[in-house]
Amino acid sequence: MRNMRAQSAIEYLATYGWALLIIVIAIAMILLFITVPSGAASNACSFTTSIVKCNDFVLGSNTASQTTTFAINITNMQQYPIENPTLVVSILNNNYTVSTCAPQYVAAGGSILCYGSMPVSTSYGQLFSGSMYLGISNCALSSNYINSGECSNPQGQTILGHYVGHSEAPYLMTPTPGEYVIVGSFGFDYGAITSIYVANNVIANTVIISPHSPMGIAISPDGTKIYASTATGVAGSGVLSTFDISNTMAVNSIPIPYAYGLAVTPNGKYVIVANTQGENVVVVNAANYGIVGSISTSPASSPELVAVTPDSTRAFVTDFSTNQVSVLDLEKMTLLDTINVGQGPSDIAITPSGNEAFVVNSGVSGSGSVSVISTTTYSVLGTTFIGNLASNPQFVAINPSGTQAWVSGSGNVVVLNTYSPYSVAATFSVGSPEDIAFSVNGNEAFVTNGVSVDVIYTSNYVIANMISVPSAAAIVVTQPV
């Protein structure tokens, strides 16, 4: 049985597919913009044929970068599929190709989202009108689609359209300093990293990292860098990428074939990356991105997720396949010990004191549990069974005060006390919860839940907000400040 994070993401995406991708990218693009100034005319768009319908568009002006973003949502109105959509937009008497249209196969009644940035300087509130040219391969004109259902050699068409509306100001295109929640999203050959302001729960920025998807995310202790282990669907395609947190721009990337979970040492010196098919973790110098070396985990292991002690001396690594946690000495670069825990350990979190580590055991058929281990004696201090409250538990996070451990499972979040006997303090429903992170002050928890991040008050476990994000969100961390 492989890791639950990848399994849940695949199952979710296999169900919803491209429809999910179009909907969530549209939401992400719309969230980049604020509304048109009061009194301004509404945006309008149309095409000169009934084959497609223009639903809405956004024209966003970014005066800082001297660019204009164009995003448009289109519906295929005919009973035949469309393939390979492209879009050219005329603005200020010049034609520009909009960089991305997705999906490349659009079923009858399906949606197309085209979006991209053009090297044109516009002003907030400026009125624009112009032409659009939608290029498609129309299966209705395929020689054998009606008889066989196969869209072979469809004829190309260019459909003329028009738009009119005001340029809008992009919302927070350049984030300002503050505390962020960083979210990783999965998709079919698609991935994204989104930064969200903790103060107002507004998306600050989203970077598309397709065809890679994030496997793990961590933030540097000084709060300036995002580290993400990413991979495509191709075996051995793993990469450790570094992004500037102020603008979510890539800074560096290095190949780590089977990169999965990762953690940054609290002293900021190393990034520890689980190499899930290599029976080791890779240690990367956080200053110059050079690989320092690797540390072997337990034999026949598939290291998954990583937690580092507050003094930066040891890493604890879960191994789903051997039901163990490996303890690694980060100074001597050696394996110190292995600890037997429950079935299918997935996530691990260490208390702020550094004395205990909480390990989520996914189990089978409702047998999930949490093992609490001593970080000094490497022994199991206690086990709490929670399978009846949250089957297949997956992720765990410790609140900043170190008093509670929050564990996500199928449909619920289970809150455990962090003192013996590690009893259940509360259970509440959050749909399909996965990863969990806390704000620095501990007043809010952020839980990935399908295509949203739910903001939960830690005082009463009430959902305060739901933030839509691209694709199936499965990773969340908060920025240290």
- CA 285 to chain CA centroid, Å, is 24
- What size, in residues, is the chain? 481
- Quote the pLDDT of residue 422: 96
- In 3D space, the residue among 415, 420, 369, 417 whose CA is nearest the CA of residue 393 turns out to be 369
User: Is 182 within 8 Å of 42 (Cβ atoms)?
Assistant: no
Q: Per-residue pLDDT for the chain (481 aa), expressed as one digit of tens each? A: 344 454 444 344 344 444 444 444 444 444 433 333 333 345 789 999 999 999 877 776 655 556 777 778 788 898 888 888 899 998 888 888 875 776 677 778 777 767 677 788 777 778 888 999 999 998 888 766 655 566 777 888 999 999 998 876 543 333 344 688 888 887 655 688 888 888 777 777 777 787 788 889 999 998 889 999 988 878 888 899 998 887 777 889 999 999 999 999 999 999 999 998 888 999 999 999 999 999 999 887 889 999 999 999 999 999 988 999 999 999 999 999 999 999 999 999 999 999 999 999 998 767 899 999 999 999 999 999 998 898 889 999 999 999 999 999 888 999 999 999 999 999 999 888 999 999 988 999 999 987 788 899 999 998 888 887 766 677 878 766 5
- In 3D space, the residue among 263, 261, 273, 223 whose CA is nearest the CA of residue 243 turns out to be 223
3-state SS record for 334-384: EEEEEEECCCCEEEEEECCCCCEEEEEECCCCCCCEEEEEECCCCCEEEEE
pLDDT (tens digit per residue) in 299-353: 878 899 999 999 999 999 999 889 999 999 999 999 999 999 999 999 999 999 9
Burial tier of 106 (Cβ tally within 10 Å: 0-12, 13-18, 19+):
buried
DSSP states of 240-268 as a string?
EEEEETTTTEEEEEEE-TTEEEEEE-TTS
pTM score = 0.66
Strand partners, 218: 227
Neighbouring CB atoms inside 10 A of 343's CB total: 14
- Quote the pLDDT of residue 319: 93
- Quote the pLDDT of residue 274: 95
Strand partners, 452: 449, 468
User: Is 22 within 8 Å of 13 (Cβ atoms)?
Assistant: no
Q: How far is residue 285's CA from residue 296's CA, in Å, rounded to a whole number?
A: 18
**String of b and e for 436-472 (b: at least 16 CB within 10 Å)?**
bbbbeeeebbbbbbbbbbbbbebeebebeebbbbbbb
Domains of the chain: 33-166 (2.60.40.1230), 249-478 (2.130.10.10)
User: Is 347 within 8 Å of 360 (Cβ atoms)?
Assistant: yes
